[in-house]
Chain A
Amino acid sequence: MLANVNATRMELLGLRKRVVLATRGHHLLSEKRDEISRQLIGIARKIKPLRKKVEAELLETSRRFMMARASMEPEDIKSSLEIPIRKFSLLVKFSRIMSVEVPELLQKASGEIICYGFSNTSGEMDVALMALDRAFESLIELAEKEKQARLLAVELQMTRRRVNVLEHVLIPDLKSAIRFIFDKLAEAERDNTSRLMKIADIIRA
């Protein structure tokens, strides 16, 4: 940095302006970093119980499904589950959290989850499908939150790097350049003064 510095008054003024700008940027980025961290912690707090809930619901679903599958004849399972009547659509909307674009997943389901008759099927299949239906809602919510958390985490990492660069590299470099120019200019000023004093002595003599 110092190698490329022209020790002029103009440069000094320019560098002083850059320091003010960098300090303001550092301040704003620090605030952004803190807010992203706060948002991220909030989302992470929601994710933990949600993940536990989804895991428990999926485990329950598979347990029920195993029992239903084992107690039904294979041809009945095939005909029961081959053609589902529940239709599912997913709408992805984007919103902004601290200028980070995060997805919001809106699900829309229609039709019944139970798509078969009652004579040759097990009641456990109903329970399994209902549990799956419940788990699916939580699963979509979890996917949304995890995606939001991931995007915020990437943004947080980027912001933190910017803050660190400003704090530990750019601002100190600018300050040292200012000091260098200031010293150089002061040195030139002293040089000039002593030269004038010497000339005045010669004239007086």
Chain B
Amino acid sequence: MFEMIEQPVVNFHLYPSVGEEDWRYCFATAEVRTLGAGMLSKTELLNMANAVDFADAVDLLSSGEYALPARADLAEIENILLVKRSEVRKLACGLMDESIAELFEARDDFANMRLALRRTLTDKELGLDYSGDGNVAAERFEDIFAREDYYSLPFYLAEAVEEAVLGYYQNKDIRQIDYAIDSAHARHNIATAQRLENHFLLELFRMQIDLTNIRTMLRLKFTESQLRDVFLAGGYIDPRRLKHCIEIDYEAIAPLFIASPYYPAIEQGVSYLAAEKSFLKLESCCWEHLEGFLDSTDQISAGIQPVIAYLLKKENEIRTVRLILTAKKNFLDTKLILDRIS
């Protein structure tokens, strides 16, 4: 049904190469670099995190594109940020080749599909609250899943639905839907990047798979879960090594990855997890590692790489703004915010 993915080998020190230049993206690169210059800097985010209260944090955003009403509630902020995210996605996808844009829009398709499938299989109301940023229109989901006409979906989604339904009916465990969809999504990303012969995308997706697998491994260990076959295939790290890590002590995990590019992230994340019983640092370090790779696209004069880097960094910026404002609104400790974002 689906092809086997070969286990790739790490042949770089910290970040893989970002690939070659593509002069068709000359204008797009210039545009995203100009837009990138207007993004919130690390200092601005830290100032927001250190703001006295919510109003003060909102005030710091007033001069930029995130100007928010001072008395806005969280639902209002959420909506504003969702609109912003949609705009950014539309802009970035407009600058990409159609096939690459489809790949990024498929993220919303998979998310919508997960929601619709969970509702269908548990006999819940299908609803209309799906994301409208995907390749498949949000209003079509209810109709397709009500009729169970999965083959009117694009092939990669139909295949994922089939796999998820089979997984669910094995032991009627709702989580199998997520594992199947996550796995199908990762496979689709890798297969598409290989088909498009896009080196940057391939490396990016492998890195994302690795970082997801590392987080998954530590989450399984922390929750003392018996699940083992939930790692995504296609990354640099062999899932067998991750399974082994679940069985050993926290102190012994990081040295196992000393020769891998993820060592600094794992070392910091694991020690924070063991000390604070929290994944904030690990998630922050994983993003920092990915961001380092995205930042290395600066060496490209023109290409799809800076456009993708802009999209991912902008999405993260929106998430960070939401995180800081939510934390400030709920009077959470500044240290928590700093641990997550710095």
* A residues in contact (CB < 8 Å) with B: 62-64, 66-67, 69-71, 73-76, 78-80, 82-83, 85, 112, 114-120, 122-124, 126-127, 130
User: Measured between C-beta atoms, what is the minimum distance from B69 to chain A in Å?
Assistant: 19
**In the complex, B216 has a CB within 8 A of chain A:** yes
B212 interface residue per 8 A CB criterion:
yes
Q: Which residue of A lies closest to B122 (CB)?
A: A83
- Interface status of B222 (Cβ within 8 A of chain A): yes
The B86-121 residues at the A interface (CB cut-off 8 A) are 108, 111-112, 114-115, 118-119
Number of interface residues of B (CB under 8 A): 51
Minimum C-beta distance from B242 to chain A (A): 12
Additional pairs, 4, CB under 8 Å, beyond known A63-B336, A66-B330, A118-B178: A67-B280, A79-B114, A116-B175, A117-B179
Q: B124 touches which one: A75, A83, A116 (CB < 8 A)?
A: A83
Q: Taking the complex as formed, is B129 at the interface, i.e. its CB lies under 8 A from any CB of chain A?
A: yes
Known A85-B174, A116-B175, A123-B218: A66·B327 in contact at CB below 8 Å: yes
Q: Which of A62, A64, A67, A112 has the most CB atoms of chain B within a 10 A radius of its CB?
A: A67
Quick check: B119 and A82 within 8 Å, CB to CB? yes
B212 and A71 form a contact (CB under 8 A): no
Minimum CB–CB distance for B115 against chain A, Å = 4
Q: Is the CB of B332 within 8 A of A123?
A: no
Question: Which of A71, A76, A80: most chain B CB closer than 10 A?
Answer: A71
Beta-carbon contact of B181 and A71 below 8 Å: no
Q: Is there contact, CB below 8 Å, between A83 and B118?
A: yes
Q: Which residues of A sit under 8 angstroms from B282, Cβ to Cβ? A: 123
* B247 at interface, CB cutoff 8 A: no
A68 CB to nearest chain B CB (Å): 9
Chain A interface, DSSP helix/strand/loop, else mixed: helix
With a cutoff of 8 Å between Cβ atoms, the chain B residues found around residue A63 in the complex are 330, 332-333, 336
Closest Cβ of chain B: how far from A101's Cβ, in Å? 39
Bound together, the chains give a CA A1 to CA B78 distance in angstroms of 75
Considering the complex, which residues of chain B in the window 205-231 have a beta carbon less than 8 Å from any beta carbon of chain A?
A: 212, 215-216, 218-219, 222-223, 225, 230
Distance in angstroms from A191 CB to nearest chain B CB is 88
- Find out whether the CB atom of A117 lies under 8 angstroms from the CB atom of B178: yes
Stretch in contact with the other chain, from B9-17, B30-38, B295-303, B318-326? B318-326
Interface of B is mostly: helix
A79 to B221, CA, bound (A): 24
Alpha-carbon separation in the docked complex, A184 to B180 (Å): 99
B314 within 8 A of A: no
Pick from A64, A67, A119: contact of B323, CB below 8 A.
A67
State whether B319 touches A123 (Cβ < 8 A). Answer: no
Determine if B187 is an interface residue (Cβ-Cβ < 8 Å): no
Q: Chain A contacts of B212 at CB under 8 A? A: 118-119
**Are B278 and A66 within 8 A (Cβ)?**
no
6 nearest CB pairs, A to B: A117-B178, A123-B279, A70-B326, A119-B182, A70-B323, A79-B115
Inter-chain contact A78/B115, CB cutoff 8 Å: yes
**Inter-chain contact A114/B223, CB cutoff 8 Å:** yes
A73 contact from B111, B181, B215, B332, Cβ within 8 A:
B111
A64 surroundings in chain B (CB, below 8 A): 278
- Residue A66 contacts which of B130, B215, B332 (CB distance < 8 angstroms)? B332
In the complex, A119→B175 CA distance in Å? 12
Interface bits B280-306 vs A (CB < 8 Å: 1, else 0): 101100000000000000000000000
| Closest chain B CB from A135 CB (angstroms) | 15
Give bound CA distance, A120 to B112, whole Å: 13
A67 touches B178 (CB 8 A): no
Assembly CA distance A79 to B124 (angstroms):
12
Q: What residues of chain B lie closer than 8 Å to A117, measured between beta carbons? A: 175, 177-179, 181-182, 230
Q: Are A67 and B277 in contact (CB under 8 A)?
A: no
List chain A residues, Cβ under 8 A from B130: 75
Distance between Cα atoms of A70 and B319 in the complex (Å): 7
Are A79 and B111 in contact, with the CB atoms below 8 A?
yes
Chain A residue nearest to B326 (CB atoms) is A70
| Residues of chain A lying within 8 A (CB to CB) of residue B115 | 75, 78-79, 82
Residues of A within 8 A of B124 (CB): 82-83
